[in-house]
Amino acid sequence: MMRVVGNRYTLLGSLLFVALLVAQYSNAQTRFMQLRGQITSPAYEGWWPNEDGTFKLFFGYMNTNWEQQFDIPISDRNYFSEVEPLALDDLSKDAFDFATADMGQPTHFYPRRNPFLFTIDVPADFGEKELVWTLKTQGQTNRAYGTLKPDYRIDPQVISTEVGGNYGSLSDSLRTNIPPELRLEGESFRTVRVGEPLSLAVRANDPDNLPARREFRQNRGVDSLYRPPASIVAMSGPGLRFSWTVYRGPEAKATFTPTQFKTYTDTRMYANSAWSPPFEIPEPPEDGRWTAEVVFDEPGEYVLRGIASDGSLFTYQNVNVTVTR
């Protein structure tokens, strides 16, 4: 108990007071940065027209945890439905149909924001229908509603803005940005044993060098690194980069060499993410060839996803791996 003697606090009282302030500060920090126990929500990012008259719908997700990851197989907890407008606005209504459930969505969910992660093409006569992604985590149901409503139409500049590309630039030149070219060396279906290294190699290049690689001159002092964000979205620098992720299967059972930098928006200091200060985009290999090895600790079916980015747009390449004993 804190005792007051005249106008002075006793030493014991002062220590208790400081401890109380520290506890309150810690609780406040915990409320802002939940490491685990929170939900993951699917996200509909928008659409654009394809040259053949069809349409491309973009999806991603937000895992509100900073560390907890989820593995949710294609099931009544992770599925797509093609429905008429408003048909699945009632979250208690289940519409799982094995025939349409799998639209290429992930089954492994990294922390934080993972935007524009995959696309689905719909026919020219899709009309007012909805392509709905249902995802259930922590006992809660959340849905993303893919539609062709005009407000959801996007272009490359919108994508760049949403991911904080080119340090948050709003340049109109980004509207004509071309995504990186990416080519896998070898087959896209592989078989490997537990504990046996699997070699991976891709070639990537940025055909228009837009946005051009440049360094963002910033104060590297501790105060600047810990200062509050100056932008609504996390920002990252321009420049060609590539990284492997686990798209389906338990990520904890796959170890990459060298360690791959994160492709999600982990904004904590030194978090090995393009959105994490003071991360600098590494120089690409001189021959444009990225190599890595992965070792699996557990048998099963995995999908690895290679992601090439110029900081504003993304190109993906999947490798399906069957891991045996």
Pairwise CA distance, residues 318 & 282, whole Å = 22
Residues 302 and 200 in one domain: yes
Residues 75 and 184 in one domain: no
Last residue within a domain, chosen from 107, 135, 152: 152
Pairwise CA distance, residues 280 & 269, whole Å = 12
Contact predicate 47/148, CB 8 Å = yes
In a domain, 63, yes or no: yes
Q: Amino acid identity, residue 244?
A: W
In a domain, 30, yes or no: no
12-25 confidence digits (pLDDT tens) = 444 443 344 444 44
* CATH code (residue 104): 2.60.40
Number of structural domains (the chain) is 2
Residues 255 and 289 in one domain: yes
In a domain, 229, yes or no: yes
Residues pairing with 183 in the sheet:
203
Pairwise CA distance, residues 213 & 240, whole Å = 8
134-149 confidence digits (pLDDT tens) = 999 999 999 999 999 9
Confidence (pTM)? 0.87
In a domain, 295, yes or no: yes
Residues 113 and 201 in one domain: no
Residues 137 and 191 in one domain: no
259-308 confidence digits (pLDDT tens) = 999 999 999 999 999 999 889 899 999 999 999 999 999 999 999 999 99
| 25's tokens | 């500060």
pLDDT band for 195, please (50, 70, 90 cuts): very high
In a domain, 26, yes or no: no
Contacts of 217 (CB under 8 A, 6+ apart): none
Residues 99 and 186 in one domain: no
* Backbone φ, ψ for residue 310 (5° rounding): -100, 10
Residues 147 and 211 in one domain: no
